[in-house]
């Protein structure tokens, strides 16, 4: 059966860049890699086909030969080299390490095996007040997790014994199988990928190397944290299996709603109600700030409802910077609901004066309205 065109296999053009070719191969390799499609022969063939195409098109010299002679360049014609004796496993190890890490590469080590048996990461939600977020604080956290077994020091082996290197995989945790011209690595079935076997399991942890227990940590929450921020405590997650690296603990910050301040990033907001006479005549008002202090602000005469005033540096600390956001105060003009006789008289008199000299905003609105009605 005739071989498919290498460009068609990867779904690229002759003019595609090396990066485009690499991306196309990566997509196919992720989809059809034998470690992900265990036992699927069709996927395995597609993976081999894509790997062969990438081997040729990723190298400028091989690509040039292929563009000139086609598949004949690698079947003896045109001075090419065939694939019958080609070691795909060693040639592609750097590609797989780049794409997937050591577990898909040509080689593997105890460090990659240790990562596979690494403990799970844990999540812990912390609620704090806006004032706590402003000041920062130290908080004690207590949570349930799987800790390293002290009796066997995490090895899983009973006292007086120790794990034995797996004779099947020689401690690698994986075995390599040749399938045609391609080499596939799989988890060792004898040691389940640990690289070691235990003849006498620990009675306390049953050979797992970890037991469930309570953990207590103290965490510093910095000034300026925001809702949804997270803090990572390395190695404070679940213990790894049989002495492998522990996972991490992620603390997710949730900030309680405040009854006065609203927050948007480093800035704070609230509404300040004032009388309509203060809005018209102007005044000076003492207002609160998140640090617990007070600030005086001047409301100029003729301040309109909804006007926003700013107090620089009175907002939240900016995380990891020695700077602060601002406090924005929105003016809300409160109209009296009930009036005394004297107040009504004064306002009636004021209204007469107003009618002689209409407010510019009101005048402009009704001029626009008249034009609208005419049209």
Predicted TM-score (pTM) of the model is 0.58
Q: Is 238 exposed, middle or buried (0-12, 13-18, 19+ CB in 10 A)?
A: buried
pLDDT of 98 = 47
* Residue 1 pLDDT: 58
Could you give the C-alpha distances from 154 to 172, 227, 248, in angstroms and in order? 19, 37, 17
Q: Where are the alpha helices (DSSP H) in the chain?
A: 6-10, 18-32, 41-57, 60-69, 88-91, 93-99, 110-116, 130-135, 276-281, 341-356, 360-374
Segment 155-192, tens digit of pLDDT: 889 988 888 999 889 888 888 876 555 667 788 888 88
Domains of the chain: 6-107 (1.10.287.110), 122-163+198-255 (2.60.260.20), 258-335 (2.60.260.20), 342-375 (no CATH)
Q: What is the pLDDT of residues 230-254, one digit of tens each?
A: 999 999 999 888 777 889 999 999 9
Q: How far is CA 36 from CA 19, 44, 184, in A?
A: 24, 10, 11
Residue range 310-366, pLDDT digits in tens? 999 999 999 888 899 999 999 999 988 888 999 899 888 888 877 666 677 777 887
Q: What pLDDT is stored for residue 111 in this prediction?
A: 46
Per-residue pLDDT tens for 246-289?
Answer: 899 999 999 999 999 999 999 999 999 999 899 999 999 999 99
252's torsion region: left (phi>0), alpha (psi -120 to 50) or beta? beta
87-137 pLDDT, tens digit each: 444 344 444 444 444 444 444 444 444 445 788 899 999 999 999 999 999
Q: Which two tokens stand for residue 168?
A: 């099947």
Between 58 and 111, name the one with better pLDDT.
58
80 and 73 in contact (C-beta within 8 Å)? yes
CA-CA distances (angstroms) from residue 371 to 59, 360, 364? 74, 17, 11
């Amino acid at each position: 059966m005739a071989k498919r065109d290498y460009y068609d296999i990867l779904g690229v053009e002759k003019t595609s860049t090396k990066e485009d070719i690499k991306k196309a191969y990566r997509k196919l390799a992720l989809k059809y890699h034998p470690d992900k499609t265990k036992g699927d022969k069709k996927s395995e063939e597609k993976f081999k086909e894509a790997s062969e195409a990438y081997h040729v098109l990723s190298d400028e010299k091989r690509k040039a030969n292929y563009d000139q002679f086609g598949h004949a360049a690698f079947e003896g014609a045109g001075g090419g080299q065939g694939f019958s004796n080609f070691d795909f496993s060693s040639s592609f190890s750097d590609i797989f390490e780049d794409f997937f890490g050591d577990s898909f590469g040509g080689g593997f080590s105890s460090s990659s095996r240790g990562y596979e048996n690494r403990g799970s990461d844990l999540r812990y939600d912390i609620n704090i007040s806006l004032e706590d977020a402003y000041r920062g604080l130290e908080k004690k956290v207590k949570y349930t997790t799987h800790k390293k077994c002290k009796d066997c020091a995490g090895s899983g082996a009973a006292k007086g014994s120790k794990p034995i290197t797996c004779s099947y995989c020689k401690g690698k945790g994986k075995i390599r199988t040749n399938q045609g011209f391609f080499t596939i690595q799989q988890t060792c079935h004898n040691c389940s990928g640990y690289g070691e076997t235990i003849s006498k399991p620990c009675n306390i942890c049953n050979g797992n190397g970890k037991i469930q227990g309570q953990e207590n940590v103290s965490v510093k929450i910095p000034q300026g944290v925001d809702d949804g921020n997270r803090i990572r405590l390395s190695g404070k997650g679940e213990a790894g299996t049989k002495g492998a690296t522990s996972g991490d603990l992620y603390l997710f910050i949730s900030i309680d709603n405040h009854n006065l301040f609203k927050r948007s990033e480093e800035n704070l907001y609230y509404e300040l109600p004032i009388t309509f006479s203060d809005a018209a005549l102007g005044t000076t008002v003492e207002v609160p700030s998140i640090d617990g202090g007070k600030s005086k602000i001047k409301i100029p005469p003729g301040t309109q409802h909804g006007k926003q005033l700013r107090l620089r540096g009175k907002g939240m600390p900016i995380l990891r910077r020695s700077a602060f956001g601002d406090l924005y105060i929105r003016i809300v003009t409160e109209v009296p609901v009930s009036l005394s006789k004297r107040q009504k008289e004064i306002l009636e008199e004021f209204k007469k004066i107003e009618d002689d000299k209409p407010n510019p905003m009101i005048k402009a609105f009704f001029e626009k309205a008249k034009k609208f009605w005419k049209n």
